[in-house]
Structure 1
Amino acid sequence: IYRTTTERYPLSYYGYRSKHRADHLSSLLRKSKDPSAKVVPDRMWHIHPQRHSPATNWQWPAPPKLFSWSQMSKQAGNLPTALAWLGDYDSALSLLPSSAPKYFRGWLMVQNGQVLRGLGLVAWKLKGKPERTPFWFFAYPLAYSADIDREARKHGVDPLLAHGLIRQESRYDPNARSRSNAMGLMQLLKGTAYGVAKHNGITLASTEQIFEPETNIKLGCAYLGYVLRGKEGNAMLAVASYNGGPNAVKRWMIKHKASGINDMDYFVENIPFRETRGYVRKVFSNYWNYETLYLNKKKN
């Protein structure tokens, strides 16, 4: 079952968790036949807080690696393509026919500052296992990587986990604002932002400053590090706390331990808040996809 799930849903949270468990069980089987064989532990939600970001000078993939201009002229029309080549992305978008490839529209949106929607259109193109190709790197960007690397490591957070969280929270749109008024790349509520700023000696001249990428990353990584320490380094509980609140997660863990079931996969599946339950799955599927794309030397 684990291998089948991994093969059918390689991008998903369940695909990765199935792989972790299958690798562990396979190693136990080898150990039973060969006492000298090493046991591979279940990866679970362990992170690597001291590693550096794999690309601190990362740039968005662009033509000709992403697509060829001549090909796009045929698929999207000469005028929109020419305007895009000239850097007039707004005009190119306004003239783009509905028949144009979605990934081209997504690329134009990202160039035009509409990152949240644009990234989604490019990601829509991707199927199967993650591959080290321009489209995959575009869909899983390492934007703001220098700031994220510095601030994440300062607070004991794996930079790739911070990227996985940002991809879920805002799709790297610095101007993102949620219905609950969470702001910026790491979607911070005003009260949380000011509290973290005060605790860490960060000056906030105005609420609008929370939207500034450098400030938002400082505050968001500081808060993620805070909840990670509060959950004794358990990254899954920290991510759940980032979304659902540390006190809520504390209550859920008390109830989970009282049930007598010592299985944290079971805990994830029974998180009472639907949003937080889905959030944990999505952030970690992002995180593991980032590892697959940027840390593995070979194509998958």
Structure 2
Amino acid sequence: PIAESYELFSARDRNCLHMEVDISGSNLKYETGDHIAIWPTNPGEEVNRFLDILDLSGKQHTVITVKALEPTAKVPFPNPTTYDAILRYHLEICAPVSRQFVSTLAAFAPNDAIKAEMNRLGSDKDYFHEKTGPHYYNIARFLSSVSKGEKWTTIPFSAFIEGLTKLQPRYYSISSSSLVQPKKISITAVVESQQIPGRDDPFRGVATNYLFALKQKQNGDPNPAPFGQTYELTGPRNKYDGIHVPVHVRHSNFKLPSDPGKPVIMIGPGTGVAPFRGFVQERAKLARDGVEVGKTLLFFGCRMPSEDFM
């Protein structure tokens, strides 16, 4: 569960989020300097965009069963399921489209002109980069752009299950000390929203915007959809009912010196300061406990003292 969440600052185009994840009811343990993995869900707008371009909007909740052709292969999500659940919780639908996957889908183009364009995009690296690179197209945005909105009705859904990466966790430096708060993990991160030249809307990070939506819900903010995006916060089959987020811990070699008496200089611009927050907490606790602590200096940067000073 999320114990607490709030914004450290909210500037013109940036929001910095701080969140405390309660791990007391789990088997999770961490050490100062470790990473926390956040398992996000995809935003509803991108799920709907994907369903729409495949002409599946009316079938999003149709129950389907996915079977592997190879007896030894394992389907990478629970069965039976729905189109909506696969896209929302299990596939990396927001990632930039790959040229190899474009080549695979060319055979299913709505007409010969689109097929020719797809074949060129798939075979010509420079042309592909020219047409897609500036826009950060995901697969649904790409298909819509190439076909000018015409539906792609003949692509077998299995092509996406095979061709798209499984939705991956996003890793963040833990910004707390396990010595100070062993049962709570702190996250400090900027909500990713970047205006891309040649693109109508900003490119938005999947996980940080998901966390921001959880923060909005927890605090009862009047606009629960950050930047116009909506998320199914309860997860598949209401698995995360309440203010919960699926996480795990990845251990890191990025640690304070084992000898607390050694001096340390830390440099962290922006939210790069996150792990050092935990280091400072740890050394302050050791000093309070009477341990001889070496000189500890932290240099951090911000854009403007009145805007994003943390």
**TM-score above 0.5:** no
TM-score interval w.r.t. the shorter chain?
A: under 0.3
- Rg larger for: 2
Higher relative contact order (CA 8 A, sep 6+): 2
More strand by share: 2
TM-score by length of 1: 0.27
